[in-house]
């Protein structure tokens, strides 16, 4: 039975918006925030309030209008950041401060020129500051993916003791293999004595195309929150795609997880984000790509037309996509041709289709895709040949 709730933490408006060219103004952010709340996200990361006056006012306005989701603001481990985030979130019904610091040796030495102990103290300090403003504090251990697991466990234990209620374990550089990331989460779930006082969160980047796989491995090993974005938008190669993790959880109910996402809104949400951020979705993108429910090769089309389940694991209606499409190309077969002609009102016998198919292949070899107008022309010529015969 699927009885373990996975909290969906959407960061489209923060990590997603960091992509060059995807910056949103306050009006756009508000529109997306309302739709994300409607979609059913549990936590909405609205921005990084200290980063600019515009982002401060976006987080403030979103805090005023969101009623069900928790509104979250990002900070560095800096007192001023936390004060500004708290001010921006002040009117939210439920607010969360997301604060943290780099914990891999690459960050400790390369970014902070500090020691592990100094960073541990700064981690405790930022959570303590944040707890002055809200009971809901999430700590991010930046670059946890490349951090030493024992040191990471020490940091996580200390920040929970200081009052963190969610502990985010980001694979900031998208470096981990699924087995490594899963083992990291299991290490924390098993070795941190006070881990039962916090929710473990996965925040995976997609530099090696593993963000979704790593997030799923994270929840299998004890995490209960996934940080993700619509269409997988985010820094560099992006973040975990919300639509992918939600549908994996739904398709694989044997894992025992569920989310509150209304999956019928996934495709409309994807289109809205793509249009608002002016960032096209690749056609072969899982769940929301234009080809996600298109069948073009003869073998697949024949099977699909006999029984959709042969080549489709998700009914497009379930994710708010248009009906499955039978696309005609030079790789298509007779069943697909007969099906598309029938949809245009042309009924043919098997013998007719055999003849028409030869004509169709000539057209298909000249074009990437055979369109309705081409089919009408084929039917017209066939009729003409019959009259002339
Ligand atoms: O990728 C990352 O580590 C982040 C943190 C700021 C949560 O986005
Ligand atoms: Zn990130």
Average pLDDT over residues 245-256: 98
**What does pLDDT average to over the chain?**
97
Beta bridge partners of 171: 204
pLDDT tier at 380 (50, 70, 90 boundaries)? Answer: very high
> Which residues belong to CATH 3.20.20.70 in the chain?
2-277
Closest atom of ligand 1 to CA, residue 74 = 6
Q: Which of 99, 39, 97, 29 has its CA nearest to residue 65? A: 29
Residue 25 has pLDDT above 90, yes or no: yes
Residue 287 has what pLDDT?
98
Q: pLDDT tens digits for 36-53?
A: 999 999 999 999 999 999
Among 12, 74, 144, which residue has the most ligand 1 atoms within 8 Å of its CB, making it the best to mutate? 74
Query: Taking CA 23 as the corner, what is the angle to CA 21 and CA 27, rounded to the nearest 5 degrees?
Result: 140
Average pLDDT over residues 367-371: 95
Q: pLDDT tens digits for 172-222?
A: 999 999 999 999 999 999 999 999 999 999 999 999 999 999 999 999 999
Q: Give me the percent of the chain exceeding a pLDDT of 70.
A: 100
Query: Ligand 2 centroid vs 133 CA: distance in angstroms?
Result: 24
Residue 174 in contact with residue 210, Cβ under 8 Å? yes
Residue 171 in contact with residue 214, Cβ under 8 Å? yes
Ligand 1, atom 1: closest residue by C-alpha: 172
Instruction: Please list, in sequence order, all residues whose beta carbon lies within 8 angstroms of the beta carbon of residue 197, skipping any fewer than 6 positions away.
Output: 160, 165
Query: Ligand 2 centroid vs 188 CA: distance in angstroms?
Result: 20
Closest atom of ligand 1 to CA, residue 11 = 8
Query: Ligand 2 centroid vs 293 CA: distance in angstroms?
Result: 30
Residue 1 has what pLDDT?
82
Residue 311 three-state SS: coil
Average pLDDT over residues 261-281: 98
pLDDT tier at 386 (50, 70, 90 boundaries)? Answer: confident
Residue 122 in contact with residue 77, Cβ under 8 Å? yes
Q: pLDDT tens digits for 330-346?
A: 999 999 999 999 999 99
Q: Which of 342, 280, 358, 287 has its CA nearest to residue 317? A: 287
Average pLDDT over residues 131-143: 98
pLDDT tier at 300 (50, 70, 90 boundaries)? Answer: very high
Among 78, 100, 139, which residue has the most ligand 1 atoms within 8 Å of its CB, making it the best to mutate? 100
pLDDT tier at 387 (50, 70, 90 boundaries)? Answer: confident
Among 3.50.30.30, 3.20.20.60, 3.40.50.720, 3.20.20.70, name the CATH number for the domain at 2-277: 3.20.20.70
Beta strands in the chain (DSSP E): 4-5, 7-10, 43-47, 70-74, 95-102, 137-142, 166-171, 199-204, 225-228, 257-258, 294-295, 325-326
Pocket of ligand 1 (CB under 6 A): 15, 140, 142, 168, 170, 172, 203, 205
Residue 389 has pLDDT above 90, yes or no: no
Among 168, 175, 201, 232, which residue has the most ligand 1 atoms within 8 Å of its CB, making it the best to mutate? 168
pLDDT tier at 276 (50, 70, 90 boundaries)? Answer: very high
Closest atom of ligand 1 to CA, residue 144 = 3
Query: Ligand 2 centroid vs 114 CA: distance in angstroms?
Result: 22
Query: Ligand 2 centroid vs 337 CA: distance in angstroms?
Result: 46
Residue 382 has pLDDT above 90, yes or no: yes
Q: What is the DSSP string of 114-183?
A: --HHHHHHHHHHHHHHHHTT-S-EEEEEETGGGS-HHHHHHHHHHHHHHT-SEEEEEETTS---HHHHHH
Residue 233 has what pLDDT?
98
- State the ligand closest to the CA atom of 173: 1
Give phi and psi for 124, each to the nearest 5: -60, -45
Q: Which of 216, 130, 126, 136 has its CA nearest to residue 171? A: 216
Integer Cα distance of 79 and 338 in angstroms: 68
Query: Ligand 1 centroid vs 172 CA: distance in angstroms?
Result: 6
Residue 56 has what pLDDT?
98
Among 75, 155, 170, which residue has the most ligand 1 atoms within 8 Å of its CB, making it the best to mutate? 170
Query: Ligand 2 centroid vs 239 CA: distance in angstroms?
Result: 7
């Amino acid at each position: 039975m699927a009885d373990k709730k996975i909290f969906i933490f959407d960061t489209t408006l923060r990590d997603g918006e960091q992509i060059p060219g995807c910056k949103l103004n306050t009006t756009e952010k508000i529109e997306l925030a309302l739709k994300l709340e409607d979609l059913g996200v549990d936590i909405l990361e609205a921005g990084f309030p200290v980063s600019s006056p515009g982002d401060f006012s976006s987080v403030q306005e979103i805090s005023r209008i969101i009623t069900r989701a928790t509104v979250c603001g990002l900070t560095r481990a800096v007192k001023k950041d936390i004060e500004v985030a708290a001010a921006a979130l002040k009117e939210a019904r439920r607010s969360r401060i997301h604060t943290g610091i780099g914990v891999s040796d690459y960050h400790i030495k390369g970014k902070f020129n500090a020691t592990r102990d100094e960073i541990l103290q700064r981690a405790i300090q930022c959570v303590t500051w944040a707890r002055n403003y809200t009971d809901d504090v999430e700590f991010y251990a930046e670059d946890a993916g490349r951090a030493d697991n024992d040191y990471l466990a020490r940091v996580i234990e200390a920040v929970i003791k200081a009052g963190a209620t969610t502990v985010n374990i980001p694979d900031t550089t998208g470096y981990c293999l699924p087995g490594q990331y899963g083992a990291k989460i299991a290490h924390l779930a098993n070795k941190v004595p006070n881990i039962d006082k916090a929710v473990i969160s996965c925040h995976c980047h997609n530099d090696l195309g593993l963000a979704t796989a790593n997030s799923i491995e994270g929840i299998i090993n004890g995490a209960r929150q996934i940080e993700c974005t619509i269409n997988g938008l985010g820094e560099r190669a992006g973040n975990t795609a919300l639509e992918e993790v939600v549908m994996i959880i739904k398709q694989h109910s044997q894992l025992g997880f569920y989310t509150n996402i209304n999956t019928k809104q996934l495709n409309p949400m994807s289109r809205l984000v793509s249009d608002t951020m002016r960032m096209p979705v690749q056609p072969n993108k899982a769940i929301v790509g234009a080809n996600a429910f298109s069948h073009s090769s003869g073998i697949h089309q024949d099977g699909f037309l006999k029984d959709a389940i042969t080549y489709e694991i998700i009914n497009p209606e379930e994710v708010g996509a248009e009906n499955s499409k039978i696309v005609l190309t030079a790789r298509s077969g007779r069943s697909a041709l007969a099906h598309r002609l029938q949809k245009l009102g042309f009924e043919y016998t098997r013998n007719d289709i055999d003849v028409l198919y030869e004509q169709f292949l000539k057209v298909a070899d000249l074009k990437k895709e055979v369109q309705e107008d081409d089919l009408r022309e084929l039917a017209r010529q066939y009729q003409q040949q019959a009259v002339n015969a």
